Each structure stands twice: as structure tokens, then as C-alpha cells.
Structure 1
Amino acid sequence: MLKNLLATHAIESSPHVDAGEHISTGAHSQPDLVRVLTAKHLVLLGVGAVIGAGIFVITGQAAAQHAGPALAISFVIAGIACAFAGLCYAEFAAMLPISGSAYSYSYATLGEYVAWFVGWNLVLEYLFAASTVAAGWSGYFNELLRLIGSWTNTNIALPEALASAPYAFVEGHIQSTGALVNLPAVLIVAALSGLCYVGITQSAFVNSIIVAIKVTVILLFIAVTVHLVNPDNWHPFIPENEGPGVFGWSGVFRAATLVFFSYIGFDAVSTAAGEAKNPQRDMPIGILGSLAICTVLYIAMALVLTGITPFRELNTPEPVATALTHYPQLSWLKTIVVFGAITGLSSVILVMLMGLPRIFFSMSRDGLLPPALGKVHPKFRTPYVGQVIVGVAAAILAGLFPVSVLGELVSMGTLLAFATVCIGILVLRYTQPQLKRSFRVPFVWPVAILGALICVYLFWQAFEEHWRLMVTWIVLGQLIYIGYGYAHSKLRPKNA
């Protein structure tokens, strides 16, 4: 039985593939995904997934509660940690240009059981991340309606009963809030799920437009406000420590743990590896390029925000808009920022909804999930069954729950996936050194080991508080694997 649990895919480095070529997934009679994405598409997918709630929400909380102006240092630390994992992702994605992200990489190196465990945690990341961000999108959307109403002397904002979750988590228990449904959250998930259903090209095109808008808004904010920076707000740059994780260097590292969660979407690039035109060249560009762009934008925003506003005043759900309240002459910019936040969060939801069905696709083709999840639409060439299931589930969660309590669970699942990829690179270097690698992690031993250790350390910080919820999710996954996946695995006849 142990041999079965540790069974791995027989892999070989993939040859160059051309645009329009179908993915070779074995002897399947169904239509497959098609390779249409360029390096530019992949970079924009990464930026679309990463730039969102992190830049519009987490910056304020991290600065006000933990790091102060030194939040910029926290982003540097988090960026370095992500770069370690990103390098390992890039080597895997170039060598194994298939959908499935860390799940597929784990299957090729660490065995079926580890692959299932990682895949199940990726489900946690993508599904609940999409739902959580959709709930945040609803708040910004209603704020935009209020702004429009103030210009026209009308009240077009939705009532709280239709714009907030009917249930809330209070001290670990679910309580009714009196609301009916978070309607905007449901509608944005439905609209973006429909977009993902009709094609990866259309989804990537819309994502490119959204990314262009939100990056333009961020650059506009920086350009307009940089001359308003008051250096006195940066002194002391690292505020005096007020307790464990509250300012001082301990606060800087605590903030790095918090803002690390801003980067969790970059692995969504690897879920589209099976649809990349030239994955050996383009996947490393997509993963590392998006990480570099996002890190620079995060650092710049952190410096400007803490420079134009005392950092203790940024502890609000809308820190960028809050900073602008000190400058009435920039009310026009506040409206643009709200619009930019809406588009920014939209692209995060889009990429999350796009990524999970492709993970289901890979797991289904391996027999670990029902065959229906591996079906590809004959016209649109998308994993449409999985897309519908993910869309419905995300819409229900977004419409009924604030799911903010699950935010750290999302990050915990991601951190485990990151750590597994880092370990998998070392395993594959040792077990199959002969494989051709179009991209190789430089200084692989220190990079991979440090990447894994940092991810496990950050995971443990959240696990201490949320271990009950995490264990429940893991147990549920084991029951599904035992009840279905183990018996239906495509590798089972070969390894029994």
C-alpha cells in the first residue's frame, strides 16, 4: 500500500511545443486544452492575481498595527521569500508545461498521496480566495454607487440587506446578521465564471484590460501624491517596539508574514502552463516577471501611503482612500482609486476562478476525481464542468458568508503548496538529474531549502490559531481520497 501511495508519474522533460498544439495527456478521446497564451498573457495573469486586496487593504493594516513606515522593508522580505518559491515554480513549469500547478509537480516527484494533499490545499486556496475577494469587491462596488449618488443627488446604493453577508462568524460560531444576500458578490462571481467558461483567450484578454486599468490607477496615485510626501511621517522609520510583533524589528517580520499573503496568487500562472504557446521560455518569464512587477508596486505604495498619512491612521478597510481624505483637493482621485480597487479585485477573482477548474482537470485525468471534471468543452476548449461547479460554489460562499475568517486558511493551504514545490525541486534534481531543464534554479540547495523553511514557518504561525479548521479541512480531503481517489487512480493498475 505504501508503494501505491508514493507512486509517481513517469515523466520526461517536454519538447518544445507550438502555438495551437493540444496538451498531450494520454490516450483520451475527449478534446484537450489548446496552447494560445504568450509570455505577456502569463505576466498579466500573475499581476492580475497578485495585485488586489493586498495593495488596497492589507497595506494599511500591516503599517498601522505592525511595521509603520518600515512596511516597505516587510515587502522586501516577503518578496525575497516569494522569489525562492517562484524560482522553483519556474523550473517545474518550464520542465512540465501542464495544468495542475503544485499538484502536478508533487505527483511527478513526491508521489500520489502528497499530490492529493497538495491539490486539496490548492482547492482551499482558490475557492475561498475567490469568495473572500468577491465579498470585498461588493463593498467597493457599493461605495462607488454612493459616490455616483452623491454627484446626482440620488440614492442608488444597495441596502445593507442586499449588499452584505447574511451570516457572520462570531467567536467561532455562525450567527445571522439579518441581511438577505450579498448580491454584488454573487453577480461578479457569476459574470466572471461565465467569462472563464467561454474561453481562456477571452479571459486572458479581459484580464489584460483589467490589469492595465488597475496598474494605471496605482501609478497615477503614486505620481499625483508623491510630492505630498512629508518625510516627518517616516520618522522613526522603524517605530519603537511596543510588544511582540508590534513595531520594532519583530513588527517588521510580523508584517512580512501578513503581506506574504498578498502574493499567494502568483502560482495561478502555473495552472495555465498547459495553455502556454512556448512554456519552456514563457513560464519562467510569467512567474518571475509578475513577481518582480508586483513587488516594486507594493514597495512604492507602502512608501507613499506612509509618507502622506501618519501610519496609525491607515488601519481601515480602504487605506488608500483613507489617505486621500486628508487632501480634499484630491477627491477626484479618490473616485478613481475606488474604481481601480474594483477592477483590481475583479482580476483576482477572475484568475482564481480560472485556476481551480484546471487543477480539477489534472486531478480528474489522473483518476483522483470524477471523470466529468476532466471534460473539455468541444467548442470553447475549457474545463467547463469544473468551471460551473467552482462558479456555483464560490457564488454561494460569497453571497452568504463574509469568509474573512478563512483568509488565513487560504494562505495556509498556499504556503504548504509552496513548501512542497521547493522540496520537490530538490527531490527531482536527485532522482532524475538527466532531465533536460530549460530553466534551472540558481544555487538550488540554499534557495529551495530556505524557501521551504520560510513557508513552513509562516504556515505554523497561522496553524497555532486555526488548527481546528485546518485539521477539519485535511480530514475531509483524506475521506474523499480514501473513498474515491485511491481506488480510481490511473496509476493503480501499474503499481498495485
Structure 2
Amino acid sequence: MNRSELTPGPRPAGDVTTSAVPVGYHQELRRGMGSFASFAAGFSFVSILTTVFQLFGLGFGLGGAAFFWTWPLVFAGQLLVALCFAELAARWPISGAIYQWSSRLAGTTVGWFTGWIMIIGQILTVAAAAIAAQAVLPGIWTGFQIIGGPHADPSVASPTGARNAVVLGCLLLVVTTVVNILGIRQMAAATSIGVTVEIVGVIALVLVLFFLPERGPQVVAHDTGAAGDGSYFGAFLASSLMAAYVMVGFDSAGELAEETHSPRRTTPRTILRALIVSGVGGALLILAGLLAASSLTDGNLAAGGLSWVLTDRLGGALGRLLLCCVAVAVFACTLAVQTSGARMIYSMAREGALPFHRHLGKVSARTGAPIITSVVVGVGAAIALLVNVRQSAIFTALSSLCIAMLYLAYLGVTLPLLVARFRRRDTGRLPDGVDETGRPLFSLGRWGIVVNTLAVLFQVGMTVNLLWPRTEIYDLTQGTWWLQWSALLFIGLSLAVGVGYFLARRLHRRIELRHVPHTHIEPIAEAVAEPA
């Protein structure tokens, strides 16, 4: 696909795209998402009910009650990243946002590898989200513990729990794949309902637990419940992985920009709104759990997390009812992550940047959705689960690995963006323009360089923290070296495969004198050359 093929086509009725730069694609995806559905896509990916329930025990077990403070620290860092993304979403509202933004800011090579890492990270994130079903469903009904029977240990860290998590996760992936195939309207409706249930559930949980306190809020000033006797600083950093895992995916609104009405106005706001609502709600949920837990030292909170708090303090009936809200959130989260991954693959494939791109870049004329990419993400996530069917470390290892890859992909956007800002040091601003209503695009103005610099520093530090070869995260056997170093090994292998494919394509194009498959050869020049 060359540049001449990417001139803007006829716009659908009601889709006004006044902007600073042309998007450059014919409208194939159907615009079926409003403002709330766009917010729901980002909020569902973050999904505090899913991920806080999934990882509360991990964070508390590593850092004790004081791990609460990792939440506002990670939230502040991710808010800086979200502000940068909001600027880019207003200027380039295109599916596969991370790949598209990186390509326009740093060129096709950096953009391709950023997109490649993002795809793998998203597929692994779908698998990690699907595992959350094991943290919830057996607590609702013991019949969901298929492996080992209702009396087996449902903990994901146990052999029976890990295998059952794979079974439940694969079943969930079948359902989310079907919904994605049906089309964006069905996906938007499902996530909107899921988010509504999740928000109601968070409010109900926080209120109920705050009315059942066993201790005061001063508990967060102590490391009660932390494992180990060494330096607390290392334990605190390890416990921050919980917050790091939860607060990602707010960029999903950008991934679905081509399917959103008035995306230049809507998407920046929904990116920020999804993260802010998640940050506030998650902080209250963690604090409520710490206050209401009947004990911080008997090991139940670290092993069972918030699920144990609910069933222990609220009894069977009410606890199970609230767990049903969590189950709905798990479904919406898995669906949103899968949708984002499918759009990323589609965005790269329609530029000929992936193997089998002619098939992966197709949009169904009946549903208006890229069906094949949805199936690929679902199957890829199921494979990631199945190859770990006997690995009890699947929960913590997958969680840290997939989020580390997302942080690397995010860095592939914010770092080139910072370089672009320094090149325009007189203002530090991106090219201006107007949104669909004629108002100025979202902009950080002269604060752009400061915010962007702090965002990059935070991302670098958190990526190192996520990839650090901790045995308590990557090697529960305490003696398998390749498990301990599995994150770095897997990322190295992923990059090696990417380099091999990328070089093969380059050589192939030179032999046949074919065009470059990407469209964004001079990203900054294109932006500057097209005034509003």
C-alpha cells in the first residue's frame, strides 16, 4: 500500500473530521461508539475490580499494608503518560494508536517494533485478564472448580487452581471472541453494561467495607503483613507491581478512535477520564479492604485477597452477589483488551506490515469488524494459557511480563514525542488544530516538555522494576534459573523474531524493488505541512 492509496476517502454522513492533519485512511471500520462507550473501553481495560481482586493478595503479601502508597505513586506517573497520549489522540485518532503515533513521531522502523511489542503484550494481557476468572468464579459457586472438584484448592498459585484457571480462561476467551466478531456495536454495548455494573459494584463494595472497619486508616503507615525480613524498600518496589499492572490500557480509547464519533474531541477526554476514575476508585477499594479485613497477619489476606475479605466479612449470600459484579468486570476487561489487540493487528496489517496482512487487514462487510484479527488474539491468548497449564507461577509471571511489554511499547511513543518536543523547543508544542466542534485540540502547551520528561523517567524506572528477575514473581520453584530470567529471555526472543521478520521483508523488497509497506515516512514534516 503506497501513499497515493491512502488519501482520505468519502466520509460517512455525520462524521466530521476537521483537524490539523489528515488521517489518510478510507473509513472501513464503523463508527458505533459514543463518549460513554469510548470511556468504557479504557475503563474496562484498566478494570479495577478485575485487577485489584486479582493482585491485591500479591501486593499485600509483598509489601504489607503500606503497599497502599504504591497506588498513588503509580497513578501520578501514569497520569503523566496519559496526558501525553491525550495530545496525540487528538491529532492522530487512528486505530492501532500506539503503532501509529510511534510511526509518525519516530519513523517506520521504531513504529514497527513498538507495534510488534504492543501486539505481543496485548495478547499476553488478554491471557492474564482471563485468568482473573479463577479468582472470582469458584468463590461464587464451587462447581466452577472443575479441576480437582469443589474441595480442591482454588488458589491460582496451587497446581489445581492454576490448571482450572486455564480452563476457565479459555472458556471466557471463546465468549469474548464471539462478541468481538459480532461487531463494534455489540462490543460497545457489552463493555458499557460491564462498566456500569463495575462502577456500581465498586461503590457498593467501598461503602459496605468502610462500614465494617476492624482498624483505622493509620494502618497504611505500617508494613504489617509484609513477607520477608530484609530491606523494606525492595519489598515496596515489588509490591508496586500490583498498581503497575492495574493502571494500563487507558489508551484503549485511542485504539478505537476510528470507531468513535467525534474522536478528536472525545478520545483525549475519555483517556484521561478512564485513568482518573480508575485511580480514585482503586485507591478507595484498596483502603476499604485493608480496613475491613478481619486479620492482617494470619496469611488469609495475602492468599485470598479481596475475595476472602468479602466472603469472610459479608457472609455467603451478599459476598457472592458482589463477586458476581466482579465476574462481569472480568468479562468486560477481557473483551476490551482483546478488542484493543485486534485493532492493533488490523492497523499494522492494512499497511502490509505483518505476515498474512491481506487477510489480517480485512474488515467484514457484514459486521464492520476485523474478524480474523479478533480470532488471532483470542487463539494467541489461549495458547499462552495452555503452554502454562502446569505452571503455578503463571499468574504472577504473566502479569509482570505482559505489563512490562506494554510499558516498553508506551515508551516507544513518549520518548520519540519528547525528542519531537525538543526539536520545537521554542514552544514545546505539537502542531495545533481544531476538533470536530471547531475548538482547539487538547494541548499541554508549554508544560509539554516537563510533563513528557517526567513521564519518560517514570516509565524507564517502572520497566526496570517490572523486568527485575525476582524469584517471588517469576520463579516460585526458587531454583529454576530460566524461570527467574524468563521475562528478559521472552522479550529478547520476541525482539529477535521481530528483527528476523523485519530484515527479511527489507531484503525481499530490495530484490523485487517493491514499495515500503508503511505510510508514515516523514511524520513530523507531514504534521507541519498540513495547517488547519
Give the TM-score band, short-chain normalised. Answer: 0.7 to 0.9
Q: Counterparts in 2 of 1:183-202, with a 5 A limit?
A: 183-202=167-186
Equivalent residue letter for 1:381:
G
Residue 347 in structure 1 maps to residue 347 in structure 2: no
Q: Tell me which of 256, 266, 269 is aligned to 2:240.
A: 256
Counterparts of 1:381 and 1:284, CA distance in 2: 24
Identical pairs, percent: 19
Aligned alpha-carbon RMSD (Å):
3.9
Structure 2 equivalent of residue 57 of structure 1:
54
Conservation of the 8 A alpha-carbon contact between 2:213 and 2:291: yes
User: In 2 relative to 1, CA 477–169 (structure 1 residues): closer, same or farther, beyond 3 Å?
Assistant: farther
C-alpha distance after superposition, 1:306-338 (max 9, x if no partner):
1112444454454112113443x5332220232
Does 1:379 find its partner at 2:366? yes
CA-to-partner distance for each residue in 1:452-488, whole Å, 9 max, x for gaps? Answer: 1111111112334232222111111212222237737
The one-letter code matched in structure 1 to 2:419 is V
Whole-Å separation in 1 of the counterparts to 2:144 and 2:282? 33
Any idea what the Cα deviations from partners look like across 1:88-120, whole Å, max 9, x if unmatched? 111111100100121110000111111111111
State the 1:232 CA deviation. Answer: 4.8
Q: Report the Cα distance in structure 1 between the residues aligned to 2:199 and 2:93, rounded to whole angstroms.
A: 28
> Structure 1 429/236 Cα, relative in aligned 2: closer, same or farther at 3 Å?
closer
CA distance in 2, matches of 1:122, 1:364: 14
How many residues matched? 469
Q: Deviations over 1:244-297 (max 9, x none)?
A: 997856654543343111112212221101111111111111100010100011
Aligned equivalents of 1:72, 1:378: Cα separation in 2: 48
C-alpha distance in structure 2 between counterparts of 1:425 and 1:110, whole Å: 8
Equivalent residue number for residue 448 of structure 1: 452
Cα offset, 1:399, TM superposition: 4.4
Give the deviation of 1:145 after TM superposition.
2.9
Q: Aligned runs of 1:185-224 on 2, under 5 Å? A: 185-224=169-208
Indicate conservation of the 8 Å contact 2:15/2:261, yes or no: yes
Aligned to 1:468: 489
**Greater mean alpha carbon deviation, residues 129-138 or residues 232-241:** 232-241
Q: Does 1:424 align with 2:416?
A: yes
1:177: Cα distance to partner? 11
Alpha-carbon distance between aligned partners in 1 of 2:164 and 2:272, rounded to the nearest angstrom = 43
Which amino acid counterpart does residue 140 of structure 1 have in structure 2? V
In 2, distance between residues paired with 1:331 and 1:99?
A: 44
The secondary structure found in structure 2 opposite 1:377 is coil
Determine the C-alpha separation between the residues in 1 that align with 2:82 and 2:430.
22
Alignment-derived partner of residue 368 in structure 1: 353
Partners of 1:103 and 1:119 within 8 A in 2: yes
CA distance in 2, matches of 1:209, 1:288: 20
User: Per-residue deviation at 1:21?
Assistant: 7.0
CA 1:180–1:27 in structure 2 vs 1: closer, same or farther (change >3 Å)?
closer
Counterpart among 453, 457, 460 of residue 461 in structure 2: 457
**Residue type of the partner of 1:54?**
T
Check conservation: 2:137, 2:144, Cα contact below 8 A. Answer: no
Matched with 1:92 is 88
Q: 1:5 matched to which residue of 2? A: none
1:17–1:253 Cα change, 3 Å: farther
- Give the letter aligned to residue 108 of structure 2: E
1:92 partner letter? L
Go from structure 1 to structure 2 and tell me whether the alpha carbon gap of 1:244 and 1:93 turns closer, same or farther (over 3 Å shift): farther
Q: Is the 8 A contact 2:197 2:325 kept in 1?
A: yes
Q: Deviations over 1:371-428 (max 9, x none)?
A: 2111111111111121122222223333453543232221111111222222233334
Q: 1:158 aligned to 2:184? A: no
Change (3 A) 1:236 1:101: closer
The equivalent residue for 1:152 is none
- Unaligned 5+ segments in structure 1 are 1-7, 147-154
Counterpart residue type for residue 190 of structure 1: V
Q: Take 1:291 and 1:50, find their aligned partners in 2: how far apart are those partners?
A: 8
Distance change >3 Å, CA 201–CA 246, structure 1 → 2: farther
CA 1:178–1:191 in structure 2 vs 1: closer, same or farther (change >3 Å)?
closer
- What TM-score, normalized to structure 1? 0.83
